[in-house]
Amino acid sequence: MIATKLAFVLFCWTAAFALPTAVQVVFMHAAFVLGRFLPLFRPSSAQARRLYVRFLLYAGLLSAVVVILNALFVRNGEVLLDLGIVQFSREGVEFGLRVSVRLVLMSTAVLVFFLSTPLRDLAAFLDSSGAPAVLTSVLLLSLEFLERLPQRIEQIFTAQEARGAPVRAGFAGRFRSLFSILGPLIVSSIVESVERSHALALRGFPAPPEHRIRIRLPLTIPAWSLIAGVVAMVGWKLWESFR
Amino acid sequence: MIACRSLHVAYGTGQPDVLCGLSFTVPSGSICALLGPTGAGKSTLLHALSGTLGMFHHAAQCSGSVTVNEETFMPVPRRVLFPAVGMLMQEPHLQFSGMAETVEGELKWTLDNLGIIGDAAQKQISVALDRFGCSTLRARTLRSLSGGELHRIAFASVLVARPSVLLLDEPVASLDQNARAQVARLLDSLRGDATILFTDSDPDLAMRLADRIIVLDSGTLRLDGSRKTFLDTVDAFGDILTVTTWPRVRERFAASGLSSLTARRLRRSLGQT
Amino acid sequence: MPTFRERLRLEMSGPAIPLMAFGVAINLTVGQVTSALKIPVYLDSIGTVLVAVLCGPWAAALTGSLANILASSFGSPAMMFFIPVVIAIGLWTAFIARHGWFRSLPLVVVGGALQGIIAALLSAPISAYVFGGTMLSGTDFLVIFFRSLGNDVFWSALYQGLTSDPIDKVVTYIIVFLTVRRLPQRILTRFPGSRSLLNPQ
Amino acid sequence: MSILFDNVTARYPNAPQDALRNVSFALPSSSFALLVGHNGAGKSTLVRLMNGMIRPKAGVIAVNGLSTDGIPTSRLAAEVAVTFQNPADQLFAPTVRDEVAFGPRNLRLPGIDDHVSDALALCGLTSVADRHPYDLSLAERKLLTIASAVAMQTPVLAFDEPNAGLSQPERRRLHTIFSTLKARGRMLLVISHDLGQFLSLTDRIIALDGGSLVYDGTPSGVSDAEKILRRTGVRFPFSERVVQLLEK
What are chain B's partners, defined as 3 or more CB pairs within 8 angstroms?
A, C, D
Q: pLDDT band at C201, cuts 50/70/90?
A: very low
Note whether A184 and D90 are within 8 A (CB).
Answer: yes
Q: Decide if C91 touches D, using CB distance below 8 A.
A: no
Check residues A74 and C175 and name the one with the higher pLDDT. C175
Mean pLDDT of A44-52: 76
Give me the residues of B, 88-117, that contact C with CB < 8 A.
Answer: 98
d(CA C81, CA B135): 46
Residue D6: its H or E element: strand D3-10
Give pLDDT tens digits for D129-153. 999 999 898 889 999 999 999 999 9
Query: How many Cβ atoms from other residues are within 10 Å of residue D47's Cβ?
Result: 22
Give pLDDT tens digits for C77-86. 778 888 999 9
d(CA A109, CA D172): 64
Predicted pLDDT of residue D224? 61
Closest by CA to B106, choosing from B128, B86, B90, B87, is B128
CA dihedral D226, D228, D229, D230 (to 10 degrees): 80
Mean pLDDT of A98-119: 81
What is the nearest CA distance from D136 to chain C, expressed in angstroms?
10
Lowest mean pLDDT among A139-143, B255-259, D192-196: B255-259
d(CA B1, CA A221): 57
Instruction: Give residue B261's identity as a one-letter amino acid code.
Output: L
Predicted pLDDT of residue B260? 42
Query: How many Cβ atoms from other residues are within 10 Å of residue A177's Cβ?
Result: 24
Domains and CATH numbers, chain D: 1-79+154-164+185-248 (3.40.50.300)
Query: How many Cβ atoms from other residues are within 10 Å of residue A173's Cβ?
Result: 15
Q: pLDDT band at C138, cuts 50/70/90?
A: low
d(CA A11, CA B210): 65
Residues 6+ apart with CB under 8 A from A242: none
Report the residue of A97, A189, A202 to disrupt the C interface, i.e. the one with the largest count of C CBs within 10 Å.
Answer: A189
Lowest mean pLDDT among B119-133, C93-107, C119-133, D184-198: C119-133
Looking at chain D, the whole-number percentage of residues with pLDDT higher than 70 is: 89
- The two beta strands, D3-10 and D58-63, are antiparallel
Predicted pLDDT of residue B258? 46
d(CA B27, CA C29): 50
d(CA B204, CA B207): 5
> From B254, which residue of chain D is nearest by alpha-carbon distance?
D243
d(CA D46, CA D211): 9
Spans in chain B with pLDDT lower than 70: 176-177, 243-273
Q: Strand, helix or coil at A32?
A: helix
Give me the residues of C, 14-73, that contact A with CB < 8 A.
Answer: 14-22, 24-26, 28-30, 32-34, 36-39, 43, 46, 50, 54, 62-63, 66-67, 70, 72-73
Mean pLDDT of A85-100: 75
Burial of D105 by CB count in 10 Å (0-12 exposed, 13-18 middle, 19+ buried)?
middle
- The two beta strands, B71-73 and B61-68, are antiparallel
Predicted pLDDT of residue D207? 87
Report the residue of C38, C46, C49, C153 to disrupt the A interface, i.e. the one with the largest count of A CBs within 10 Å.
Answer: C153
Predicted pLDDT of residue D238? 53
Q: Strand, helix or coil at D157?
A: strand
Interhelix angle A90-116/C57-73, nearest 10 degrees: 90
Note whether C192 and C11 are within 8 A (CB).
Answer: yes
| pLDDT greater than 70 at residue C116 | yes
| pLDDT greater than 80 at residue D223 | no
Note whether C98 and C196 are within 8 A (CB).
Answer: yes
Strand partners, D135: none
Taking CA atoms, A133 is separated from B82, B115, D245, in Å, by 18, 14, 59
Note whether C156 and C29 are within 8 A (CB).
Answer: no
Helix ranges restricted to H, chain A: 2-18, 21-37, 46-73, 90-116, 119-128, 133-162, 171-202, 221-242
What is the nearest CA distance from A75 to chain B, expressed in angstroms?
55
Residue D214: its H or E element: strand D212-217
Mean pLDDT of D161-171: 82
Q: What are phi and psi for residue D209, nearest 5 degrees?
A: -145, 120
Determine, for residues A184 and D78 on separate chains, whether the beta-carbon distance falls below 8 Å. no
> From D153, which residue of chain A is nearest by alpha-carbon distance?
A163
Predicted pLDDT of residue C199? 58
Note whether C175 and A189 are within 8 A (CB).
Answer: no
Residue D31: its H or E element: strand D31-36
* DSSP-assigned states of every residue in D70-125: T--HHHHTTTEEEE-S-GGGT--SSSHHHHHHHHHHHHT-SSHHHHHHHHHHHTT-
Note whether D235 and B177 are within 8 A (CB).
Answer: yes
Chain B residue numbers touching C14 (CB-CB < 8 A): 56
Backbone dihedral region of B36: left (phi > 0), alpha (psi from -120 to 50 degrees) or beta? left
What are chain A's partners, defined as 3 or more CB pairs within 8 angstroms?
B, C, D
Half-sphere CA count of C40, side-chain side, radius 13 A: 9
Strand partners, D83: D159
Mean pLDDT of D20-44: 88
What is the nearest CA distance from C59 to chain A, expressed in angstroms?
10
The ipTM of this complex is: 0.89
d(CA C14, CA C9): 10
Helix ranges restricted to H, D165-235: 168-183, 195-198, 226-231
Check residues A170 and C63 and name the one with the higher pLDDT. C63
* DSSP-assigned states of every residue in C160-172: HHHHHHHHHHHHH
Distance between first and last Cα of chain D: 38
Q: pLDDT band at C132, cuts 50/70/90?
A: low
* DSSP-assigned states of every residue in chain B: -EEEEEEEEESSTTSPEEEEEEEEEE-TT-EEEEE--TTSSHHHHHHHHHTHHHHH-TT-EEEEEEEETTEEESSS-SS--TTTEEEE-SSGGGSS-SS-SBHHHHHHHHHHHTT--HHHHHHHHHHHHHHTT-GGGTTSBGGG--HHHHHHHHHHHHHTT--SEEEESSTTTT--HHHHHHHHHHHHHHBTTBEEEEEESSTHHHHHH-SEEEEEETTEEEEEEEHHHHHHTGGGGTTTS---SHHHHHHHHHHTT-----HHHHHHHHHH-
Predicted pLDDT of residue B263? 46
Q: Decide if B176 touches D, using CB distance below 8 A.
A: yes
What is the nearest CA distance from B159 to chain A, expressed in angstroms?
10
Note whether A202 and B52 are within 8 A (CB).
Answer: yes
Predicted pLDDT of residue D44? 86
Predicted pLDDT of residue D233? 65
Taking CA atoms, B59 is separated from A158, B9, C186, in Å, by 38, 11, 9
In this prediction the pTM is 0.88
CB pairs under 8 A between A and D: 71
Check residues A209 and A173 and name the one with the higher pLDDT. A173
Strand partners, B166: B86, B196
Looking at chain C, the whole-number percentage of residues with pLDDT higher than 70 is: 92
Burial of D243 by CB count in 10 Å (0-12 exposed, 13-18 middle, 19+ buried)?
buried
Determine, for residues A138 and C187 on separate chains, whether the beta-carbon distance falls below 8 Å. no
Closest by CA to B208, choosing from B176, B237, B185, B225, is B185
Q: Decide if C179 touches D, using CB distance below 8 A.
A: yes
Check residues B264 and D15 and name the one with the higher pLDDT. D15
Q: pLDDT band at C135, cuts 50/70/90?
A: low
What are chain D's partners, defined as 3 or more CB pairs within 8 angstroms?
A, B, C
> From B204, which residue of chain D is nearest by alpha-carbon distance?
D238
Note whether B57 and C186 are within 8 A (CB).
Answer: yes
Predicted pLDDT of residue A214? 61
Q: pLDDT band at C75, cuts 50/70/90?
A: confident
* DSSP-assigned states of every residue in A61-109: HHHHHHHHHHHHH--SS-EEEE-SS-EEEHHHHHHHHHHHHHHHHHHHH
Nearest to A185 among C26, C78, C171 (CB): C26
Q: What are phi and psi for residue D86, nearest 5 degrees?
A: -100, 105
Predicted pLDDT of residue C139? 64
d(CA A212, CA A215): 10
Domains and CATH numbers, chain C: 4-194 (1.10.1760.20)
Q: What is the DSSP letter of D32?
A: E
Burial of C115 by CB count in 10 Å (0-12 exposed, 13-18 middle, 19+ buried)?
buried
d(CA B161, CA B169): 18
Instruction: Give residue A144's identity as a one-letter amino acid code.
Output: E
Can the peptide bond before residue A209 be classed as cis, meaning omega within 30 degrees of 0? Answer: no
Q: pLDDT band at D112, cuts 50/70/90?
A: very high
Give me the residues of C, 65-104, that contact A with CB < 8 A.
Answer: 66-67, 70, 72-75, 77-78, 80-81
d(CA C115, CA D105): 33
- The two beta strands, B212-217 and B195-200, are unpaired
Interhelix angle A2-18/A119-128, nearest 10 degrees: 100
Note whether C130 and A99 are within 8 A (CB).
Answer: yes
